Chains A and B, each alone.
Chain A
């Protein structure tokens, strides 16, 4: 079996948002929606304190709560584990948005251009064909990854903290990295048993 997934090494990440913006530019998402935001969380009390940076994206769960919540069955999981929204079937109920514990989905309300002054040649050239009133999210950048390329967020990362590949293949890039690093990758919110395909090294 193939299970496409990502390892994120939090020791490497510096919270610079190169991934966030790479995703936004690659996918021409509306300016107020990011599919791969980095969360800043302060921990500790001064002076024993710091900020922890947590890059997020769709977790492409093995057992996706969004898929279960969708009344129109618009969300499907591919054989390689990638979870996608079929916008032709999506009726915009938004159940998935509230069902996802990771906040990975957004309902697209309108087709905004980047500047409020109007449409630019860039907007036209990269015109997003997202259907209004449908749910959208990270696709593991299938338009690139299905051609054998890494997702835009992975390519952009200055620290190379994201490693994408087949989690079921012991010789894949992510598994090799984990082995070398000698630490066990962990999912977010494991108690929910969603079995994410995005795992973190601390």
Chain B
């Protein structure tokens, strides 16, 4: 066995120490093991005992060590000495002491708090193990309503969160893999190491593929990672998903006549009678919505115990008022979405639309049940998933409302196999109209129903008081503050604090965001590297890297009956490389506590945290200086008992408890009805129209419609036929958000697939333009914004699109290894009235472009 001695001995790093923790490279918070050698973090891999990600992590999660020791890391506070701000202007940073930084910031806070605390805005998309709840509590206790998750709320889930809140009392959607047989994905690559439930979904979908037990259909302009692994890819023209979905609804109701009649009658508002004003017909005495009982041939209150049956169809006369059940209105409304007409709009063949609708209703197995834990409950194994691709449009609202009709029509809501809510709200309630409602007091992302009160002038910088059914509306910040007279701006933002957000790059159009942030006199960034937003700041504080901090996410569970509910944490594996005593901190919250103390609102901050966490008895924060670790300890003990504090979690990391059929499938047990007919939108629109008119604010209210309608984005009327393509952006599994770009290993992998330089375009389209694979091209928008990239002529793209990847095209010098990579997709967008959905606050990402070879005479 002489040759056995030839085994290379290199690279054996048996870990001296392993810290079990949680990843923050995206918002999923996967369980990780951080390996250390001589106190240096050398490796990160999956925690085999954490149910969140089943022991595996993605490429982004593994490169953490490269980030800890990145030469681009900011380790000391800095202040700008060049008053002139610009993405490509040197701020002439000067290193300052923590003491100088904190005293400067707290002086600003004191002045602002006395003047008008609303002038402070706090932005942080610090979700996994981050401190969303603490940031909101800190901002609220300062006296400002202006806390925002920052970048994501320009386009992320405007028409996604809304719908899952509405019909599922949840934050977003998932799939019940144990029972699901048919998954329709629209504009998302869920299950392909992007998006929510990132690794469990990927793993489960792989199991489903290998065993052939589920059909997956992906609707997307390009055959993405998800499309390539799907059973069927349906290429679609950008911005037409709503038409496609409304056509599916039309085929289901009007051609196939198949829907879950019992569910619609008893568990939705489909039978509620609607008058010609599109509002419910109400009982003159009780004020309750009416239905028509065909047995007694009478209108009755929706909850009248004498109801023998409900009419879904027909036209009635109640006290001289003509009315129809909501379902009849929908049936009539969708008739015009014939597969033939929609085929022209979407480029999806009419036969494909009919086939998909047929598969959906057949696979839904209407009427079937399954027994779980002794309960016989409905089985509806069809689910639908959608995200930014479908949601980020001018008429975004209608898209989400149309899509939610698909599972609602077949009763596939929170029952085995059906569309599942994820991130369930703890407080479901039933309104006096008998409909499901929920509230979210921890997050700023708000449910649409019941609509909030409309008022002017707005309290918040987001004009949120004019968005009664939106989840959030920060897109209004640049619009209103750059047009203060038009929008009768009540006050300007005079101070911004942002934590790992980089909204200048990752929210709206880069040029607009740069222009807006220049108007803010004092900007403070907590940042790992000198990214775009840090570059535009006045003071930059070093952010604490996720492998160096302590954090507590909410308890998690995966959709369906399998598994447990579980709590785990983020734990510090090494101290942050800051000057003492700041090397002792374990979170940005430690700095916020210090600032609150100096600016005189520490007690308010404690009170707000007490409320947010529901702290009781001996765990209430009061009259003492707490560190973040102290607070974590109290919170844990408050929730899990005096023996389950921070030390217990440091030692044991994961706490699990069982779930039952009622927790797993609330749809089978809910007493509240859900929406099929969106009456409340109509009412909310009336309020907004009245208030904006009374106050002379120009406001678009045409998208407040109870019956969702496909309408073309502005890009459907290009200024000339030269702009014959749309540019779309796509996630790739090796990059998340804007924060993963400076990792050398990820840069190399992205480069190996040419995602770093290239944009994909259809090979035939390219050929007609004289463009060959590898040619450098210019992509130019209708307003003259430009990007350059290498053309990757491809067979997996819709003929009308150019596809770019990730959130790249970086412009600042603070991350030199990221410069020159990819296209700045956001930089090509527009932010104006024409490109904002005034109902859900989405920013349109449907942008027309022309492309031509670089140096070609066509320019």
Q: Are A156's CB and B749's CB within 8 A?
A: no
Q: Chain B, 29-49, contact with A by CB distance < 8 Å: what is the 0/1 string?
A: 000000001101111111000
Verify if B453 is at the interface (C-beta below 8 Å from A): no
Q: Are A18's CB and B3's CB within 8 A?
A: no
Q: Cβ of B794: which chain A residues have Cβ within 8 Å of it?
A: 42
> How many chain-A residues does the 8 Å CB contact rule pick out?
68
Q: State which residues 1-58 of A face B: CB under 8 Å.
A: 9, 11-18, 20-22, 24-28, 31-32, 34, 37, 40, 42, 44-47, 49-53
Q: Are B63's CB and A25's CB within 8 A?
A: yes
Q: Cβ of B70: which chain A residues have Cβ within 8 Å of it?
A: 115, 120
Q: Cβ of A76: which chain B residues have Cβ within 8 Å of it?
A: 3, 6
Verify if B485 is at the interface (C-beta below 8 Å from A): no
Q: Closest A residue to B202 by CB, please name it.
A: A158
Q: Cβ of B228: which chain A residues have Cβ within 8 Å of it?
A: 15, 50-53
Q: Are B68's CB and A128's CB within 8 A?
A: no
Which of B55, B746, B795 contacts A21, CB < 8 Å?
A: B746
| Additional 16 contacts, C-beta under 8 A, given A34-B752, A116-B817 | A12-B207, A16-B193, A17-B749, A21-B746, A24-B745, A25-B44, A34-B748, A37-B752, A50-B233, A78-B6, A87-B8, A115-B70, A126-B37, A143-B12, A158-B202, A159-B206
Which of A16, A26, A46, A130 contacts B797, CB < 8 Å?
A: A46
Instruction: Report the bound CA distance from A46 to B796 in whole Å.
Output: 6
Q: Chain B, 195-230, contact with A by CB distance < 8 Å: what is the 0/1 string?
A: 000010011011101100000000000010101110
Instruction: Report the bound CA distance from A45 to B44 in whole Å.
Output: 40
| A158-B199 contact given A46-B797, A114-B744, A126-B42, CB 8 Å threshold | yes
| A126-B11 contact given A49-B796, A159-B206, A181-B210, CB 8 Å threshold | yes
Instruction: Report the bound CA distance from A12 to B235 in whole Å.
Output: 23
Q: Are B752's CB and A46's CB within 8 A?
A: no
* Chain B proximity of A21: nearest CB distance (Å): 4
Verify if A172 is at the interface (C-beta below 8 Å from B): no
* Chain A proximity of B273: nearest CB distance (Å): 45
Verify if B185 is at the interface (C-beta below 8 Å from A): no
Which of A15, A50, A139, A156 contacts B46, CB < 8 Å?
A: A156
Q: Chain B, 739-763, contact with A by CB distance < 8 Å: what is the 0/1 string?
A: 0000011111100110000000011
Q: Cβ of B745: which chain A residues have Cβ within 8 Å of it?
A: 21, 24-25, 31, 114
25 sampled A-B residue pairs with Cβ under 8 A: A11-B210, A12-B207, A16-B733, A18-B56, A18-B733, A25-B62, A34-B748, A42-B794, A51-B228, A52-B228, A53-B225, A78-B4, A78-B6, A79-B4, A86-B6, A116-B816, A116-B817, A120-B70, A122-B68, A125-B40, A142-B7, A143-B12, A156-B45, A160-B203, A160-B206
Q: Are A14's CB and B233's CB within 8 A?
A: no
Of the listed residues A24, A27, A129, the one surrounded by the most CB atoms of chain B closer than 10 A to its CB is A24
Q: Cβ of B202: which chain A residues have Cβ within 8 Å of it?
A: 14, 16, 158-159
Q: Cβ of A129: which chain B residues have Cβ within 8 Å of it?
A: 10-11
Q: State which residues 81-121 of A face B: CB under 8 Å.
A: 84-87, 114-118, 120-121
Instruction: Report the bound CA distance from A115 to B748 in whole Å.
Output: 12
* Chain A proximity of B754: nearest CB distance (Å): 9
Q: Are A22's CB and B62's CB within 8 A?
A: yes
| A14-B46 contact given A46-B763, A78-B3, A115-B744, CB 8 Å threshold | no
Verify if B582 is at the interface (C-beta below 8 Å from A): no
* Chain B proximity of A198: nearest CB distance (Å): 18
Q: Cβ of A78: which chain B residues have Cβ within 8 Å of it?
A: 3-4, 6-7
Q: Which 10 A-B pairs have the closest CB atoms?
A: A159-B206, A16-B733, A21-B59, A16-B193, A12-B206, A125-B40, A120-B69, A117-B71, A49-B795, A51-B228
Instruction: Report the bound CA distance from A104 to B762 in whole Å.
Output: 32
Q: Cβ of A188: which chain B residues have Cβ within 8 Å of it?
A: none
Of the listed residues A26, A156, A181, the one surrounded by the most CB atoms of chain B closer than 10 A to its CB is A156
| A16-B58 contact given A79-B1, A160-B206, CB 8 Å threshold | yes
Verify if B304 is at the interface (C-beta below 8 Å from A): no
Q: Are B71's CB and A118's CB within 8 A?
A: yes
Which of A9, A20, A114 contacts B66, CB < 8 Å?
A: A114
Of the listed residues A46, A85, A117, A128, the one surrounded by the most CB atoms of chain B closer than 10 A to its CB is A46
Q: Cβ of A59: which chain B residues have Cβ within 8 Å of it?
A: none
* Chain B proximity of A109: nearest CB distance (Å): 16
Verify if B65 is at the interface (C-beta below 8 Å from A): yes
Instruction: Report the bound CA distance from A128 to B8 in whole Å.
Output: 12
Instruction: Report the bound CA distance from A130 to B10 in whole Å.
Output: 8
* Chain A proximity of B217: nearest CB distance (Å): 13
Which of B40, B57, B747, B796 contacts A18, CB < 8 Å?
A: B57
* Chain A proximity of B730: nearest CB distance (Å): 12
Verify if B447 is at the interface (C-beta below 8 Å from A): no
Q: Cβ of B692: which chain A residues have Cβ within 8 Å of it?
A: none
| A155-B65 contact given A12-B210, A34-B748, A126-B13, CB 8 Å threshold | no
Q: Chain B, 765-777, contact with A by CB distance < 8 Å: what is the 0/1 string?
A: 0000000000000
* Chain B proximity of A173: nearest CB distance (Å): 15
Instruction: Report the bound CA distance from A11 to B798 in whole Å.
Output: 24
Of the listed residues B1, B46, B210, the one surrounded by the most CB atoms of chain A closer than 10 A to its CB is B210
Q: Closest A residue to B753 by CB, please name it.
A: A40
